[in-house]
Structure 1
Amino acid sequence: MIGEFELIARVTQGLEVNSDVELSVGDDAAVVSLQGDTVVCTDILIENVHFKQQWSPAHAVGRKSVAVNVSDLEAMGCRPSAIVVALAFPKDLDPKWVDDFEAGVRAECRTAGVSLIGGDMSSSEHIVACVTAIGDTMGRAPVTRNGAQPGDIVAVRGNLGLSAAGLIALQRGFGSPKDAVLEHQTPHVPYGQGRVAAEAGATAMIDISDGLLADLGHISEGSGVSIDVVTGQLSIPDPVARVAAATGKPALGMILAGGEDHALAATFPSGTTLPEGWVRVGAVSAGTGITVDGAPYEGSMGWDHFG
């Protein structure tokens, strides 16, 4: 097995950083110069909980570890800047897995426009990747979950249901529909759209990680409002329909409660011209809780690690 410091040197060689970074890898800590308030989030991927090696190649795990974190920054309407990555893995893990993971991290950093500025490595029984992401508000107030008002409209940007369909396919030993499987392995976060929504006047926003209904439920609770989702305004992607037809799983359930979409959901004042690509899916009213087509939803609302 390759030594720790040699491995660190390999995975940090030739890192590219953006203009925010004053000091990167090689010291006890990195130094980043940001504008406005600093926004920080963290997310963890654990082998056999969030991914399986037989389902997700290392490169995809690396990309996903970045994507799920930067998506949270997008949901605050802020500008993502940098990440640090902590990776733990078994001592007998093939070093190529680590190389491929790090290549995936770098690839997603380029896509998201963030810099990898440090991290840590250790040994563990299973692979664990923990990323902390840093961004800034650029002088604007962050968009929280708590600002939705009665009369607002609800809109989403990104892919709903594909990740859930991909997971169902993988659980049954299939590698298709490819679009769904790839979306589960490496979600396509709508980078930059959090800031677009903020500039358009979003009153509340959230990253859809646990499922559309579950995450809109957080906005409902935080804002003290009721949210109704109109299913007629939701489109069913072809891969979702195909998985539903093959397995008997309801397509609408994947879209409403599948989770790991890493799309964005936001509320906007009534009359707002939605930014390009945002789709209206519901409305906010006085009251509490989530309804679907005006009635309580009978199925699962979404993912809960401890539920």
Structure 2
Amino acid sequence: MSPSNRPTRSVVLLRPVPGRSAIHDLWAGTKLIVVAAIGVLLTLYPGWMPIIMVGVLVLVTARIAGISWGVLPSVPRWLWVLLFFGGLTASFAGGSPHLVIASVDFGLGGLLKFVQITILSIVLLGLGGLVSWTTNVAEIAPAIAKLGTPLRWLRLPVDDWAVTLALALRAFPMLIDEFRVLVAARKLRPREAATTARERRHRMSRELIDLLTAALTVTLRRADEMGDAITARGGPGQISALPSGPKWADAVAFAVLVAFCAAAVCIELFTPLATST
């Protein structure tokens, strides 16, 4: 099969990968805390060594969770073109280190910064994907409600926030599938022949309006069905009232997180490679 005929893989998010592992069994709040802590770490110390360490951590965690490469989406060609032009534009900034070829000095600082930011973005996306592929959406709302317990002392509506987030996470994959069906159905409809550029623009605008109207109708219908289902199951309070809390495995994960963050900070601050960059 030629590369042009290979089927493209779409993005799979907010749907856990089938199977059980130590990562799947962790409390959802633990995974959210890990993601937040690593995000703060990479914000304060966005050097090469922390990025590489987090990337290795993501790969090892994916291996433990049994996540295969098949969950990764296909990279569209326009994204490769965009990255190429982004790197080309960043290379004009110059800076150290320098590469001398035939008495011509090329500054690679801007290009290396662009590569560093790109790899950082990929690592963060992989970290978020791990949470999505190993966590049931139903576990997110109780975890948010549990983590937001101190905010209740300030009389903040933590349960309402948790329910809203849970409903948004549940509806997001469902609406994506509905939109794909709408787009596919729209492509199957016969089109009027357009001979001029003005007619093509009018046809495109009409199709866009029809798609938006259909999408709004589907969204309202899905919201009404979800509201009826929630009411039949006892109301929105039941979503965040499910039993949720850390276990001994989560304590081990917290200890690994603290040790990992401490090691990353020490390596970033005291190794010659980190201090030289």
TM-score norm. by structure 1 comes to: 0.25
**Between Structure 1 and Structure 2, which shows a larger proportion of strand residues?**
1
**Between Structure 1 and Structure 2, which shows a larger proportion of helix residues?**
2
- Structure with higher Rg: it is 2
